[in-house]
Amino acid sequence: MIDYLIVGSGLAGIAFAETCIQNGKSIFVLDDHSQNSSKVAGGLYNPVILKRFSKLENAQEQLILLNSFYSSIERRIDAKINFPLPILRKFFSIEEQNNWFIASDKIGLAPFLSTNLLFKQYDGIDAPFGYGEVLQTGYLDTALLLDKFRSYLEENNLFREVTFDYALLESNADGVRYMDIKAKHIVFAEGFGMHLNPYFRHLPLDGTKGELFIIKASGLDLDVIVNTSVFILPLGNDLFKVGATYNWSDKTDQPTEEGKLELIARIKEILNCDFEIIEHFAGVRPTVKDRRPLVGTHPDYSNIHILNGLGTRGVMLGPSMAKALFESIENGIPLEKSCDIKRFDKKKWITF
């Protein structure tokens, strides 16, 4: 019998798998490539919600863990995936500069917002009001992480490409059984695919579609990430990742004409040079109405767990939420109420 069967190998499933491996637990992972939020993600990590000038909860702790966690994965998969890089907020007015100064004075935000305005000229962008720099930021090459981590699992016979059939799951006091696999616990990390999971589908997972581009812009000279209504992330060779849109009604992962036009309009607000669209991606972020993760153990089955709802912040939240779930299962350390699925009414849950 293995310790953990994990359904899903996006950022959440990988974070839990890595946490198990680091703690000497045996795992097996299933995935069917039905969701691609982690694969297409911008991969940015940023401790500040720039729109509202508020800090993410536990941001500093999450960043410390993030760096050591992804370093450990880099060694395991023998590839560089974590790229620390400044994120610059482009200002459009004096008022925006002033708001930045006020925010950078706030307790909690001071470690993350530089008080020095930047007036560097990047070819391809007019920025007469300059930029504010967010500190301790960067991006993760999520597509490479997914690809390499899956190869690592495959090489060690720890992965099967299959659609999980919920009807075949058996659970008893000792653990769970799924086809030929016996495990002490099962952790569901299916992202937006959770809607098909009868054990957890009553949780309020909303889903927010996002679209992004890879563009080629030889007139743009950028060695940092610029963030306004969209982010522009340099990939090298005149290629840039640009995104993303937010759509709350369309739950498919197909790129749309509407998304394309929106992104083009946003890019034109920032760039004054020509660009060519090389690729256009879309995915559904597993967002939750109260903007908190969905983590915990099923109220009626002590060996069935969930790690989901990472929303727009899978890169930063994945490692810390995986750790919290692991410690709650293994050591009985209670989850923070704000992310524990217990915050939702148990009466609405289906019991088998």
Ligand X SMILES: Cc1cc2nc3c(=O)[nH]c(=O)nc-3n(C[C@H](O)[C@H](O)[C@H](O)COP(=O)(O)OP(=O)(O)OC[C@H]3O[C@@H](n4cnc5c(N)ncnc54)[C@H](O)[C@@H]3O)c2cc1C
Nearest distance from C-beta of residue 21 to ligand X, angstroms: 17
Nearer Cβ to ligand X, position 91 or 149? Answer: 149
Cβ atoms of 314 and 12 closer than 8 Å: yes
Q: Residue 30 or 113: which CB sits closer to ligand X?
A: 30
In this complex, which beta carbon is closest to ligand X, that of residue 10 or of residue 175?
A: 10
CB nearer to ligand X: pick between 63 and 130: 63
Q: Which residues bind ligand X (CB under 6 A)?
A: 7-13, 30-35, 37-38, 40-44, 163-164, 189-193, 196, 210, 212, 243-244, 283, 285-286, 308, 310-316
Which residue has tokens 């490409």? 161
Q: How far is the CB of 52 from ligand X (least distance, A)?
A: 17
Output the smallest distance, CB 55 to ligand X, in A.
16
With respect to ligand X, which residue has the nearer C-beta, 130 or 309? 309
When the beta carbons of 113 and 307 are compared against ligand X, the nearer one is 307
Q: How far is the CB of 101 from ligand X (least distance, A)?
A: 26
- Rounded to a whole number of angstroms, the minimum distance from the CB of residue 105 to ligand X is 27
Q: How far is the CB of 102 from ligand X (least distance, A)?
A: 26
**Which conformational region is residue 226 in: left (phi greater than 0), alpha (psi within -120 to 50 degrees), or beta?**
beta
